[in-house]
Amino acid sequence: MPFGAHMSISGGVSKAFARGAQVDCEAMQIFSKNERQWNAKPIAPEEVLAFKAEQERTGIGPVIVHDSYLINLAAPADELWEKSIAAFSHELERCDLLGIPYIVTHPGAHTGSGEDVGLEREAVALNRIFESGVGGRTTVLLETTAGQGSALGNRFEHLARLFELVPHHDRMAVCVDTCHIFAAGYDIRDEASYRATFDAFEHIVGVGRIKCFHLNDSQKDLGSRVDRHSHIGQGCIGQEGFRLLVNDPRFVGIPMIIETPKGDGMAEDVENLSLLRSLVGKANGSV
């Protein structure tokens, strides 16, 4: 599996590659802009060239973008909904410009309108975006969520419903976050629970739709619905859940990205990625 981490774009999107190479990323996730602001300056042509040159130099790929945390395509309020559609469309344009294959997005929050209404609202937004043709070479990855507040995506059925409502399956797939599914109530800590969780995913959504994993341990316990990431093997999931995942033959070639806490020197990324790689090929009880 290509392992990697989320990297800062401070100084420009092309700068992320040197940081990724520093911690031995094979794949990488970035924001294409400040994730806590609606607007962003266009990416300059010279920065696009630098991005592509740095990717060729380092060999890091795929590069995946995570969209802004402000976007809510399930919002019931028209003003925020329209603003979110415009912002997400802009994110897709930036991805297309950089040649990014995947953009990860949370399936939104219904903020009181109810799950069914929120999912329908999200679907209308996605259909409108896809039918506009924006970001034509970039696939949208719906990320599983912990279900905090009114967030959608914490049940596999939510994802299945969106695939029912959005027929553009060539433009849409899934990113599974281990911390999020665990906090949402899907156990992966041992072989039996891991098998049950992914059997359920196969039955409800289809594991073939998974195009990326976020590998994060969880500070909070099973079913807490609280999204708090921890270092690999140091949270409530533990090493065994990750050993099972990185040795699952169904997921060979799928990028696995850590979003674990990090300091300025990124030593934590090196440690987490090294541990994950050490689990590949390890039998139960051999770690």
- Structure confidence by residue, pLDDT tens digits, 133-152: 999 889 999 999 999 999 99
pLDDT in tens, 20-78: 999 999 999 999 999 989 989 999 999 999 999 999 999 999 999 999 999 999 999 99
> Is 66 known to be catalytic?
yes
State how far the Cα of 3 lies from the Cα of 61, in Å rounded to an integer: 10
Residue at 121 is within a domain = yes
110 catalytically annotated: no
Helix (H) or strand (E) holding 143: strand 139-143
Q: How many domains does the chain have?
A: 1
Rounded CA separation 180/31 (Å): 20
Question: In the annotation, is 102 catalytic?
Answer: no
Specify which residues 28 forms β-bridges with: 5, 63
Strand-strand pairing, 217-218 and 229-230: antiparallel
6 is catalytic: no
Q: Catalytic: 131?
A: no
Is 285 domain-assigned?
no
pLDDT, tens digit (0-9, with 9 covering 90-100), for 94-132: 999 999 999 999 999 999 999 999 999 999 999 999 999
HEC-encoded secondary structure of 236-265: CCCHHHHHHHHCCHHHCCCCEEECCCCCCC
Q: Does residue 248 carry a catalytic annotation?
A: no
**Distance in angstroms (rounded) separating the CA atoms of residues 125 and 119:** 10
Residue tagged active-site, from 209, 229, 231, 243: 229
Q: Is residue 261 part of a domain?
A: yes
Q: Which of 19, 110, 155, 214 is catalytic?
A: 214
Catalytic residue among 90, 180, 209, 231: 180
Size of the chain in residues: 287
Q: What is the pLDDT of residues 149-179, one digit of tens each?
A: 999 999 999 999 999 999 999 999 999 999 9
The active-site residue, picked from 69, 116, 199, 203, is 69
Question: What backbone torsions phi and psi does residue 202 show, to the nearest 5 degrees?
Answer: -60, -45
Q: State pTM to two decimals.
A: 0.96
In a domain, 284, yes or no: no
Q: Please report whether residue 49 resides in a domain.
A: yes
Domain assignment present for 83: yes
The answer as to whether 105 is a domain residue is yes
Distance between CA 69 and CA 100 in Å, rounded? 19
* Residue 1 banded pLDDT, cuts 50, 70, 90: confident
Asked about 158 being catalytic, the answer comes back as: no
Does residue 193 sit within a domain? yes
CATH number at residue 30: 3.20.20.150
Q: Tokens for 120, please give them.
A: 């329908």
Task: Please pick, among 36, 78, 131, 170, the residue that the annotation labels catalytic.
Answer: 36
Tell me how far apart the alpha carbons of residues 286 and 249 are, in angstroms, rounded to a whole number: 19
Structural domain of residue 85, as residue ranges?
3-279
214 in catalytic set? yes
Is 271 annotated in the active site?
Answer: no
Q: Is 229 a catalytic residue?
A: yes
93 a catalytic residue: no
